[in-house]
Amino acid sequence: MAFAVRVVIHKENRMLNICDVELVGRTVRKDDLEMNISKSYYADRVVDETEAKTLLQNSSIINMVGKQTIDLSLKLGIGSAKGVKEIEGVPFLIVFKF
């Protein structure tokens, strides 16, 4: 399993943008909402599941998109299934850990 990731560190916060690698470049829409799963936002590099777990566990703000990504996060106890939303069948979740 591969994940596209981008890590941004600002002050004492590590923000992780992570998605299923096959979603990079896709745009999904619902009514007036449009989400561009761009390479510049989500895909500085591609990591395996082991590194994705480490990044998820060590980030304070996480923007995640895709079934595999969210399944992994929920399996680690990060986030809640109640918070998962979908656009065009693509799940996304934002988590703040402080």
Tokens 């934002």 -> residue: 94
Q: How far is CA 4 from CA 7, 11, 23, 38, in A?
A: 10, 23, 9, 10
Can you tell me the distance from the alpha carbon of 76 to that of 36, in angstroms, rounded to the nearest whole number?
26
8-state DSSP, 66: S
Question: Which residues span the domain enclosing 20?
Answer: 2-96
* Residue 56: CATH number of its domain: 3.30.1860.10
Per-residue model confidence as pLDDT tens digits over 31-77: 998 999 999 999 999 999 999 999 999 999 999 999 999 999 999 99
Count how many domains the chain has.
1
pLDDT tens digits along 1-38: 899 999 999 888 999 999 999 999 999 999 998 999 99
